[in-house]
Structure 1
């Protein structure tokens, strides 16, 4: 669940922290108070596009921090698979700092990418914005919803189909490449023979170029290396210097030897300087041998240079490494063999393609069967959920069309939600008849049905009540109450029926601080919650009758929550 939201210097928020509770968290406030900033800040922390104009005027940065509690083993495992660290107590901190021209995202103190943030948010939270229900108007969204519902049964099939589909497309490409005329075949054969011979004659060996580069660099810089090595030898060993380091150390050894018998402490010092003398002698011997090895043969240099040029030419032409050159040789030999007997090669490819296509169709059929079975279950549950949301006489069906001509890596099905909201009316596509308020309720019904099948513990709804009122609003409130029994719900609303169901009620309001407008968010006590309900009920003044209505609404909500709890316990 989402433990807390901390926002600093974002839009009208100077600095604010909200601690959320389990169950149903309701946020209300006047229009323009900044309710959308709450959802916007959560989205921003989870990777939404960072607009520098959101930084509070006069400030250098904006900061959003979310603290989650990872409450089940599956979520923890999924995060571990993403190599995301979770604290021992199960907390996970997501922080995003937005500055002019850039932003930085961190999870538990480690910098992460936008892709990682998206993966993390898909595990922890589901956000339903004000316009998300419009996605239901697009048919491609329907198959996604159905697949999410059936994912436990589809996951392995999708993985197998993805591999077979990629194999089929590769065979399809190779088969199309065989569609060439005789002149083209002869030209390609001639070119391939030349390229195969060029690589084969060179006989490149993996790692050879690296060894040659070392040798060549040593040869090119031979004079510089020789001068430096001889100077070092003169300084440390016998040479042209009047007194080298070796001579000086030798004198030191002789001087200490002459007096060592007078003081035992000198014996220890003599032992140390003697070690230095021996190390220096070994060094001079090794350096002298290295200098002798610097004698390069001109022919050896030319041979090394020519070989290196040959290998670099092959790498430039056939790949950036010897490994790629050898891989290219293998591919060209295979292609040469194939087009030398094109008809037989084409026949083999066609058979492999047809066998693969048959396997792909078989997997598509299995996926389709799972979808059709899942569609029966989903449409029945959705119909029940829609009735609970005041669709009194609703018919709902998930229509699935399958076609071999529309095979993708996800199968060959198309799904479409069909609905009838009035008795005697035929089922029609959702986008042809559903209003904005109906779409909001259908989306809520979907969230309710799917929520019991996934492991996402936190759901956020931004004005799920759009376009509804009266009895329907109360039905939506009850459905949110049911959903909050097993999930943390954070909901922004302007309807008193929904606000009454709150387990924790928050107020969002604008005010002045030092002459500047600021948005503040705070939890309401029971009494203040009743007053806010009264305001939502619409009176210019809070009369006793309005407050009495608010109390009655709160009591109805409490009674309904008790019923929900009793039903779940039976």
Structure 2
């Protein structure tokens, strides 16, 4: 149940904070005061798209925050999403909107929109001003029927959906085989060429790095040899200008004074180390230069191998692993092409088997839908009578058209006659706007008994109705509110009179700006608001007396519902 709505800096709303309770909650006010904006904020919290223009002028961000109390069953579902209640049984959902982005949080933890919508779907069901127009489309009729059937069709729908996905994949796979003989021959030849080209290279993983290193040595060998030869000359022991020759002379000189001082012995030891390092280095340079003496044939082989590997990598992948993986896929494709007839027959057999399975599931689903349609038709008919349809004949047609989809093969359509002697016709062809809103209310009242969503929100469900019909709609909302929290925006005095809690929404000027405010009305204030709704707002004794009578009659009606 929604227990609090906090909205800040949203369009005309500077800041409002509303505490809600059980039963029927009605919001009224002048046209344009911001009634729909209040419940529009709930839609924002639901995760719906929102324009940055919704942020109140002169502010940096807008905030919508809703607090719900949830029962134990809902808490279990929330735990599956790793969401836990606060203070025993409350959950706070918040969405902050800035010019650049929006951030959604549940109990202070940031969540993505997918999680947000899943959670809000457990808490609240919103019926917008024009949602009843969805009844003009048979797709909505199918959705309503399946929602009513609930667990009776849940497993069948899941089985059909999963089976249909497999079926579509098989059909796509079959399409890939749909090539003529000439094209198949060309595909085989091309695939064989690519496989042979890679196979003949006899690639080894890591070989490209090794061959590249050798190729670099060969390509730069002349420059390397010349440079190291010069270094060797600088270090040699045979030339008087060589470092080795000079080091050798230094050792001879220091040996002549050996033993005269301990420090001299240390110098002698260091010179020996330098001499050893110099001899090792000149030896290593000589060996390295000898290794770089590649013969032309070997150099040519390395260059050819280097070019071959790079050519294959340019065509088939960035690494040898990629090239070999590409070859593996081509080999599989080649095998399929060569076994074309066997493969295609196997796929066709699999498709036929899946199609037969789907038709059996669809037949079972259709049977259960027809059973549910009879029950729902009776319930809707009775609900419509309650809503002042004087003579109504309502039925749900369920017919299979043979075309399998992920929802089965049924076409579902609501049929209705509102005049005695007239045959039933598709709902979309004969229902007016006021009738559509009442039919949707009837359906919502029935589904509310089936689902576990505690809060139902109706934004002007009273569109196009008045008089006795308005009274019947008010009574229906009151009846639903005995087991659900019902929040309703209305222009009708009958619905306002039926409210367990009545709120007034007003638009005011404040410091050269316009703001929307909301007030919880006492019984006396509610009577005055009913007077305003009934007429021009003149507080005559007769108008006040009539409003009081409406409230008293509503109280008696609600008392009878308990």
What does 1:56-455 correspond to in 2, within 5 Å? 56-73=56-73, 75-87=74-86, 89-197=88-196, 331-404=329-402, 406-455=403-452
C-alpha separation in 1, matches of 2:509 and 2:438: 37
For residue 519 of structure 1, the aligned residue among 516, 521, 527 is 516
C-alpha separation in 2, matches of 1:145 and 1:321: 55
Quote the residue 2:558 is aligned against.
561
The Cα shift of 1:449 comes to 0.6
The Cα shift of 1:76 comes to 2.5
The Cα shift of 1:22 comes to 0.8
Q: Name the SS of the counterpart of 1:111 in structure 2.
A: strand
State whether residues 213 and 308 of structure 1, in contact with CA within 8 Å, keep that contact through their aligned partners in structure 2: no
Decide whether aligned partners of structure 1 residues 308 and 9 sit closer, same or farther in structure 2, where only a CA change above 3 A counts: farther
Q: Name the SS of the counterpart of 2:439 in structure 1.
A: helix
Give a deviation string over 1:39-73, Cα, whole Å, max 9, x none: 11111222222222222221111111111122241
Quote the residue 2:27 is aligned against.
27
Decide whether aligned partners of structure 1 residues 80 and 308 sit closer, same or farther in structure 2, where only a CA change above 3 A counts: farther
Q: Higher mean Cα deviation, 23-32 or 187-196?
A: 187-196
Q: Name the SS of the counterpart of 2:357 in structure 1.
A: helix
Give a deviation string over 1:490-510, Cα, whole Å, max 9, x none: 101111111111111111112
State whether residues 539 and 546 of structure 1, in contact with CA within 8 Å, keep that contact through their aligned partners in structure 2: no
Q: Name the SS of the counterpart of 2:450 in structure 1.
A: coil
C-alpha separation in 2, matches of 1:83 and 1:416: 40
Instruction: Give the greater-gyration-radius structure (CA).
Output: 2
C-alpha separation in 2, matches of 1:162 and 1:433: 34
Would you say how many aligned residue pairs link Structure 1 and Structure 2? Answer: 485
Decide whether aligned partners of structure 1 residues 448 and 198 sit closer, same or farther in structure 2, where only a CA change above 3 A counts: farther
Q: Higher mean Cα deviation, 553-562 or 418-427?
A: 553-562
Q: Name the SS of the counterpart of 1:62 in structure 2.
A: strand
What does 1:515-554 correspond to in 2, within 5 Å? 515-554=512-551
State whether residues 389 and 441 of structure 1, in contact with CA within 8 Å, keep that contact through their aligned partners in structure 2: yes
State whether residues 150 and 371 of structure 1, in contact with CA within 8 Å, keep that contact through their aligned partners in structure 2: yes
Give a deviation string over 1:132-179, Cα, whole Å, max 9, x none: 111111121111111111231222222222222122222222223333
Task: Give yes or no for the alignment of 1:54 onto 2:51.
Answer: no
Q: Higher mean Cα deviation, 83-92 or 414-423?
A: 83-92
State whether residues 188 and 337 of structure 2, in contact with CA within 8 Å, keep that contact through their aligned partners in structure 1: yes
Decide whether aligned partners of structure 1 residues 190 and 522 sit closer, same or farther in structure 2, where only a CA change above 3 A counts: same
Q: Name the SS of the counterpart of 2:470 in structure 1.
A: helix
Q: Higher mean Cα deviation, 439-448 or 529-538?
A: 529-538
State whether residues 50 and 103 of structure 1, in contact with CA within 8 Å, keep that contact through their aligned partners in structure 2: no
Q: Name the SS of the counterpart of 1:398 in structure 2.
A: strand
RMSD: 3.4
State whether residues 132 and 437 of structure 2, in contact with CA within 8 Å, keep that contact through their aligned partners in structure 1: yes
C-alpha separation in 1, matches of 2:310 and 2:156: 46
Q: Name the SS of the counterpart of 2:405 in structure 1.
A: coil
C-alpha separation in 1, matches of 2:446 and 2:124: 16
Quote the residue 1:490 is aligned against.
487
C-alpha separation in 1, matches of 2:17 and 2:307: 65
Decide whether aligned partners of structure 1 residues 183 and 14 sit closer, same or farther in structure 2, where only a CA change above 3 A counts: same
TM-score w.r.t. length of structure 2: 0.78
State whether residues 433 and 463 of structure 2, in contact with CA within 8 Å, keep that contact through their aligned partners in structure 1: yes
Quote the residue 2:298 is aligned against.
none
Q: Name the SS of the counterpart of 1:22 in structure 2.
A: coil
The Cα shift of 1:400 comes to 1.5
C-alpha separation in 2, matches of 1:21 and 1:544: 32
Q: Tell me, which stretches of 5 or more residues in structure 2 are unaligned?
A: 217-287, 295-300
Decide whether aligned partners of structure 1 residues 308 and 534 sit closer, same or farther in structure 2, where only a CA change above 3 A counts: farther
Q: Name the SS of the counterpart of 1:555 in structure 2.
A: helix
C-alpha separation in 1, matches of 2:149 and 2:202: 55
C-alpha separation in 1, matches of 2:559 and 2:198: 80
Decide whether aligned partners of structure 1 residues 329 and 111 sit closer, same or farther in structure 2, where only a CA change above 3 A counts: farther
C-alpha separation in 2, matches of 1:418 and 1:470: 26
State whether residues 204 and 311 of structure 1, in contact with CA within 8 Å, keep that contact through their aligned partners in structure 2: no
C-alpha separation in 1, matches of 2:310 and 2:57: 60
State whether residues 13 and 519 of structure 1, in contact with CA within 8 Å, keep that contact through their aligned partners in structure 2: yes
Q: Name the SS of the counterpart of 1:93 in structure 2.
A: strand
Q: Higher mean Cα deviation, 7-16 or 156-165?
A: 156-165
The Cα shift of 1:4 comes to 0.8
Q: Higher mean Cα deviation, 384-393 or 45-54?
A: 45-54
Give a deviation string over 1:53-97, Cα, whole Å, max 9, x none: 222221111111111122241x23333333344335222211112
For residue 466 of structure 2, the aligned residue among 465, 469, 476 is 469
Q: Name the SS of the counterpart of 2:63 in structure 1.
A: strand
The Cα shift of 1:204 comes to 8.5
Decide whether aligned partners of structure 1 residues 89 and 307 sit closer, same or farther in structure 2, where only a CA change above 3 A counts: farther
C-alpha separation in 2, matches of 1:392 and 1:309: 88
Q: Name the SS of the counterpart of 1:452 in structure 2.
A: helix
Q: Name the SS of the counterpart of 2:471 in structure 1.
A: helix
Decide whether aligned partners of structure 1 residues 202 and 541 sit closer, same or farther in structure 2, where only a CA change above 3 A counts: farther
C-alpha separation in 2, matches of 1:542 and 1:154: 56
TM-score w.r.t. length of structure 1: 0.77
